Structure 1
Amino acid sequence: MIKRAPSMFVVRHALSSPSARCRSLRTHTSPVRYIQSSSRPRLPPLAFAFDIDGVLLRGPHTIPAARRALDMLNGVNPMGVTIPFILLTNGGGLGEEARRHKLSSQLGVEIHSNQIVQAHTILKSVVHKYADKPVLVLGGRNDEIRKVAEDYGFKHAYTTLDVLAWKPEVWPFHNLTPEERASVKPADFSGIPISAIFVFHDPRNWSLDIQVILDVIRSRGIVGGPYLDPSPTSNQQSLPPVELVLCNPDLLWKSDFPQPRLGQGAFREAFQAVYQAVVGARYPCVQYGKPTKATYEFAESVLRDRLEEFSGDRVDEMPRVYMIADNPESDIAGANAAGWPSVLVKTGVYDPSRGPPTHTPSYIAEDVEEAVRWAIEREMRK
């Protein structure tokens, strides 16, 4: 059952505006038992993981409640302490340093790169397997994702635009624009064995990308090579299959358009439908992103590092981590499986008029400000 707690903020009901509520928090804040006199700050009993789209931002616009919520994390709360947090998103397309600059500007607070876990950030933990091997990277515009991949340590990253520039007949229904042509890396793919395909971010040209993925997978890495689909009579089954890794399973996501938009999960389903129609089975792949266990474990390790930096000491026991999010299928399901309390907000994908959420959160809030307040009150009662 979804719990709704009575308020412990003394003046909450006496104030009508969000700004007045924030002023009251500053007035009534007292540095209680969580502050100590040593130079090392004591960790509060909770930390947060926030989704971004639909929680803090809607498209390029900041949700007003987000700034008030971040004020609370920065000390405007009854505990009088700074509360650590990370941003855990299925979005991506930029490096973490570039993302932090953009988010800091949008949210009006200083965000650090080690607070950001994007859908593809987890690939930093597996790059050593493919650092020296040719890989195909998908998503974003032009060569933006190649730059992210190279920054992670992939030394030989190629895009589907590189393949199209090599042989336009690979997909004769798209002519490279001057901007796209300027971004390509010249290569002869007849002699480049692609060992893995990484879908970092939402692809921009589904038809081209599906065709090139099919070519790479079916030829075991050589674009234009003979197809080596699994067969009892094939004499080349010793060739390893090409690993397909996707970073975001979200079927839908919330932009500033009135209705949710198709995400990378929809691209995965489109590819698998085509592959099954052609070959007769779905292709095995590695899936990262919320709600996968691997992503939540990775996010917890990032948060632990953040907490150790915050406290200046080793963190043996994690505080309770609250996931604030808008998507029951990815955020709430993953948080529940990880044992994190979860708060579902109504400012994104979740539409209460369509019935109860598919995965039950610990609490449902109007927005991120209410979500943060509820979590703090809950911990204070304990």
Structure 2
Amino acid sequence: MFMPSATLATTARRQLQAASHARHCLRTRWIQHHASQRKLPPLVFTFDIDGVLLRGPHTIPAARRALDMLNGANPMGVKIPFILLTNGGGVGEEARRHKLSSQLGVEIHSNQIVQAHTILKSVVHKYADKPVLVLGGRNDVVRKVAEGYGFKKAYTTLDVLAWKPEVWPFHQLTPEERASTKPVDFSQTPISAIFVFHDPRNWALDTQVIVDVIRSGGIIGGSYLDTPPPSEQQPLSHHHQPSGELEGKNKHVELVFCNPDLLWKSDFPQPRLGQGAFREAFQAVYKALVGKTYPYIQYGKPTTATYKFAEKVLKDRLEELQGGRVEQMPTVYMVGDNPESDIAGANGAGWPSILVRTGVYDPAGGPPAHTPTYIAEDVEEAVRWAIEREMGRTATSS
């Protein structure tokens, strides 16, 4: 049946008025319920960064409006705490917070940022005084991050190449790269662990060095421990065998990856290969060499360890803001663009999850692999929906 345009306009206006009235009622009931109590709001947020707040170096317009809501421009009229949980990294949290504050136009504190490698602060005590290899990023930036966490003997694959260029003769160090290296004799320096902090810039060099470290039990240049028995091969002459090699015999070198993402969203039209792709490439090479993959520890979203760590960071943030202990956490909403990391991890942690369409997830590819609590166009809609959902729950229970 045909409906005149004036009637359609009247109907739409009434619907908007009804929605506005409902929000007003929810706010009134929420304020009445909490007026006599100094309580945290009923919800807090954890946001992914790339594809949610930023796209490459550019800020997604909806992000600033969403952050304004968290800063008090919401129906509850209160500030809503949040942290940023990303599989990105490569710089220290303090440097990251300065850049994000500038990009987002909101003051971000370093204790609001959990990068892929931030969790390594919780294991640094095991390796603080032991030589470790740290991978990823440009030059020695990741080394400086590691040292900031407390790793006192952190080395890079560029250090290895400066020590012996023949380790990987297909890359010559640039003057800038050479200036970032530390002099060290790796034949006398048994590597205890390898930490892939951030996406490697030279997959070939890094794969070769990881293979050398693992197969020799930590001594780069030492004989491989998974080669045939001595009776089936020519023994090394003494002057070819590093004197520190015996210290590394039968030693398991721990291998740690901080970001499992196969893909990530930049400002390029299609997603780019991430650290997860590097892990797969390394394991394929290692398996081709020795017949099996190498055991490793995986951090980053969606791992349980990372979500538990993030929840502790969020609780610490809330206690700082409250000036006292937080006995019961508010509902934590995760807003992300990647079903495989953000949504899978949040679902596993028991958090409501909101998937946005501004990043990796493409509706044209079919339903997401992991079902979110809600799908939003962008982070602004995600925040608004979550706030109204929790206000409705609080008002109903009062």
Same fold (TM over 0.5): yes
CA contact (8 A) 2:216 2:249 kept: no
**Partner Cα separation in structure 1 for residue 259 and residue 35 of structure 2:** 41
* 2:341 corresponds to 1:330: yes
C-alpha distance 13-138 of structure 1, shift in aligned 2 (>3 A): farther
Return 5+ residue gaps in structure 2 as ranges: 1-12, 232-245, 394-398
**Partner Cα separation in structure 2 for residue 283 and residue 138 of structure 1:** 17
**Partner Cα separation in structure 1 for residue 178 and residue 295 of structure 2:** 32
C-alpha distance 230-224 of structure 1, shift in aligned 2 (>3 A): closer
* 2:391 corresponds to 1:380: yes
* 2:127 corresponds to 1:130: yes
* 2:189 corresponds to 1:192: yes
* 2:288 corresponds to 1:277: yes
- Give 1:289-328 correspondences, 5 Å limit: 289-328=300-339
C-alpha distance 281-34 of structure 1, shift in aligned 2 (>3 A): farther
Q: CA deviation at 1:35?
A: 5.4
Name the aligned partner's letter for residue 240 of structure 1: K
CA contact (8 A) 1:296 1:335 kept: yes
Of 253, 258, 266, the match for 1:255? 266
C-alpha distance 183-324 of structure 1, shift in aligned 2 (>3 A): same
* 2:203 corresponds to 1:203: no
RMSD of the TM alignment (CA)?
2.3
Q: CA deviation at 1:99?
A: 0.5
**Partner Cα separation in structure 1 for residue 285 and residue 215 of structure 2:** 13
Of 128, 147, 159, the match for 1:150? 147
Name the aligned partner's letter for residue 359 of structure 2: G
**Partner Cα separation in structure 2 for residue 192 and residue 70 of structure 1:** 48
**Partner Cα separation in structure 2 for residue 375 and residue 42 of structure 1:** 18
Of 336, 353, 356, the match for 1:342? 353
CA contact (8 A) 1:249 1:289 kept: yes
* 2:31 corresponds to 1:32: yes
User: Which runs of 4 or more aligned residues in structure 1 lie more than 3 Å from their structure 2 counterparts after TM superposition?
Assistant: 11-15, 28-31, 33-38, 230-234
Of 59, 67, 71, the match for 1:70? 67
CA contact (8 A) 2:225 2:250 kept: no
Q: Residue deviations 1:66-123, cap 9 Å, x none?
A: 0000001011111111100000000001100000000000000000000000000000
| Structure with greater proportional helix content | 2
* 2:42 corresponds to 1:42: no
SS of residue in 2 equivalent to 1:259 = coil
CA contact (8 A) 2:256 2:298 kept: yes
In structure 2, the partner of 1:115 is 112
C-alpha distance 231-324 of structure 1, shift in aligned 2 (>3 A): farther
Of 344, 359, 363, the match for 1:352? 363
Q: TM-score, normalised on structure 1?
A: 0.90
**Partner Cα separation in structure 1 for residue 148 and residue 308 of structure 2:** 23
**Partner Cα separation in structure 2 for residue 64 and residue 218 of structure 1:** 49
CA contact (8 A) 2:217 2:249 kept: no
Name the aligned partner's letter for residue 101 of structure 1: H
**Partner Cα separation in structure 2 for residue 134 and residue 78 of structure 1:** 53
CA contact (8 A) 1:248 1:290 kept: yes
CA contact (8 A) 2:27 2:391 kept: no
Name the aligned partner's letter for residue 296 of structure 2: C
Q: Residue deviations 1:194-220, cap 9 Å, x none?
A: 000000000000000000000000000
In structure 2, the partner of 1:5 is none
- Corresponding residue pairs, total: 361
In structure 2, the partner of 1:7 is none
* 2:342 corresponds to 1:363: no
**Partner Cα separation in structure 2 for residue 169 and residue 212 of structure 1:** 11
SS of residue in 1 equivalent to 2:31 = coil
